[in-house]
Amino acid sequence: MPTRYRFSEFQRATGTTRPEARFGQLFPEPERDADGRILRLKPIVSKVTSQEVVRILQPYAASRFGEQCHAVIPLAVYLVLFQLLILRERFEDSWLITGGLFAVIVGLMFFMEGLKLGLMPFGTVIGSTLPRRSSLPVVLIITLLLGIGVTFAEPAIGALKTAGQNVLVEKAPYLFALLNEWSDTLVLVVGASVGLAAVVGTLRFLYGWSLKPLIYLSLFPVLGLSLYCALRPDLASALGLAWDTGAVTTGPVTVPLVLALGIGIAAAAGKGDSGLSGFGIVTLASLFPVTGVLLLLLFVASTHTPAEIIQAAMAPAVSGAADLAWHETSPGLEIIMGIRAILPLVLFLFLVLSLMLRERLANPAEILLGIAFTIIGMCIFNLGLTYGLSALGGSAGGLVPMAFMEIDGHADSPIYGYGVGLSLAIIFAWVLGFGATVAEPALNALGITAESLTNGVFRKRTLIISVSVGVACGIALGLAKLIFQLPLFWMILPGYLLAIVLTYFSSEEFVNVAWDSAGVTTGPITVPLVLALGLGFGSATDAVEGFGILSLASVGPIISVMITGLWARYRMNMQVKAAAAVEGAL
């Protein structure tokens, strides 16, 4: 019987397949002792060539860059096309805006990566060890301080300060004071409110409180204070700012860091695995700052008269506008802002870790690089915010009213009839809100959680669409507020009253998802863009202030998600009943 060989073995033996090399040939000659026994292997490579460095870094950078492009470019293209095609208006400084948008993309890329490399390791280590080593009050105090730190580090906070420069002191003195002279206090108050929200949210995890009573309890003072301010004409103009800060605070730094600590505390107490862990802090962190800012407003109002503020604002404008130090003019200012935003948070986290926990982090070099990335990213982002997002939003916002009303300096305005132009402006805002929200990555994550939490009753897609519709309607409503100069309070009040009624009827899961969805949707791109849009729009239509759009965009999804949830439950009940009826008939 002849020996049989496989064809593949024949190929291999005759070397007709792919090239082969002995693995051992890749190694340099190892270190040997006198007898020729191997002591130690030498590594295959002693250094990485520059070409290899490029090959390693290129896909890494490209994927991160692409992620941010995905978030920024569609919105920017939409705004530009709207301006060119519908308003038939060309951009001034289009290169500066393009450069600014590029800076936003690069800045966010560095910032997000730095956050992952440099700040998140602190969050994870502190979140898992602090609650086990320290007593509850100490942990809660640290949570409170952390809330302040993360608020300063939140990229969208810079947009508030930028917005302050465009407020006219004569029209809204208290708003001007809050955003300029008191701006650091404002951020501090917002931060303290976020910290307090984190503390209450953590206690909720620990003791398993329902979110519903917390919502009722925190809405009561907010709405009460707002009513008081709405009835005083000099304070009413700052109401929009107060409500908008709630949306600004819950961003990419706050949410993961505060959640890491909160969940860590709950896990240390053995209560970490309820499906609702992690919900609620975002909700409270978007309601508490409103109260905080309103209290600050009342404090400022009780110590300063409008006349004093106007006088103070006018005085330096005359004397010292010419020679500002380098750190007070544009590129320097953004860099200082970036460093001031990140460093305190990093120092705080480092002190907690090294002094209280006596822990050391695994990769100090990597973490330092991450912190450097965060700071570099924040600086570049701030530059991009000034020249790109704010300019684009402001320009579009200033021109959209042209569609239906006369604007100084534009001879051909209004371009369309009043009805057509007005509808165009509202549709513009609606689509902008929808588009910006659908693409938000945080919403996708929330959708997945919601789907598993409700056992599939609430599909991920359903949640994304209903949140987007809610935000879109809120933004459109906000624009209407600016056009018709409606008082913000009387638009927010019915919204929240409706939300309270819906909360009462909804089940705990839907309440958690719905209220958190409001805070999750407003990321570092949407917030500055919508703020700038509102302010540009406001100044073009001679409104007193352009705030308030974001706050309406926060109520919108709360209502739309709960209605969708109730509808989903109703349909499920009907199906169950129908199935039972069929069964009974059989």
Partner 1 sequence: MKNQPITFLTDAVLITAVVTVGRADTILKAVRNAGAMGGIVHLARGTGIRERLGLLAIAVEAEKEVVSVITASDYQDFLAEVIYNAGELGAPGNGYLTVTALERMATYIPEEAAARLARGRHE
Contacting residues toward partner 1, per CB under 8 A? 6-8, 17-18, 43, 45, 48, 52-53, 55-57, 59-60, 113, 117, 365-366, 369-370
The amino acid sitting at 193 is S
Tokens of 227: 């009513």
Distance of CA 397 to the CA centre of its chain: 21
CB of 366 to partner 1, least distance (A): 6
- Nearest by Cα to 549 from 250, 243, 285: 243
The amino acid sitting at 431 is V
CB of 6 to partner 1, least distance (A): 7
Q: Please identify which residue in the block is written with the tokens 């909160």.
A: 262
Cβ-based nearer residue to partner 1, 7 or 95: 7
CB of 416 to partner 1, least distance (A): 49
Q: Is the C-alpha dihedral spanning 72, 75, 78, 84 positive or negative? A: negative
Phi then psi for 38, rounded to 5 degrees?
-75, 130
CB of 211 to partner 1, least distance (A): 34
Cβ-based nearer residue to partner 1, 103 or 117: 117
Phi then psi for 576, rounded to 5 degrees?
-60, -45
Cβ-based nearer residue to partner 1, 57 or 576: 57
- Nearest by Cα to 528 from 240, 177, 248: 248
Cβ-based nearer residue to partner 1, 365 or 586: 365
Residue 83's contacts (CB-CB under 8 Å, 6 or more residues apart) are: 89, 91, 395, 396, 399
Cβ-based nearer residue to partner 1, 89 or 113: 113
CB of 124 to partner 1, least distance (A): 14
Phi then psi for 487, rounded to 5 degrees?
-75, 130
Q: Please identify which residue in the block is written with the tokens 């939490």.
A: 453
CB of 117 to partner 1, least distance (A): 6
CB of 352 to partner 1, least distance (A): 24
Helix (H) or strand (E) holding 40: strand 38-40
Cβ-based nearer residue to partner 1, 60 or 228: 60
Helices (H), 400-440: 418-438
Cβ-based nearer residue to partner 1, 67 or 181: 67
Cβ-based nearer residue to partner 1, 113 or 509: 113
Alpha carbons 434 and 389: distance in angstroms, whole number: 18
* Beta strands, E only, 338-450: none
CB of 255 to partner 1, least distance (A): 22
CB of 84 to partner 1, least distance (A): 39
- Nearest 5°: CA angle at 509, between 504 and 510? 60
Cβ-based nearer residue to partner 1, 10 or 418: 10
User: Residue 31: beta bridge partners?
Assistant: 40
Tokens of 210: 């329902």
Tokens of 434: 């929808």
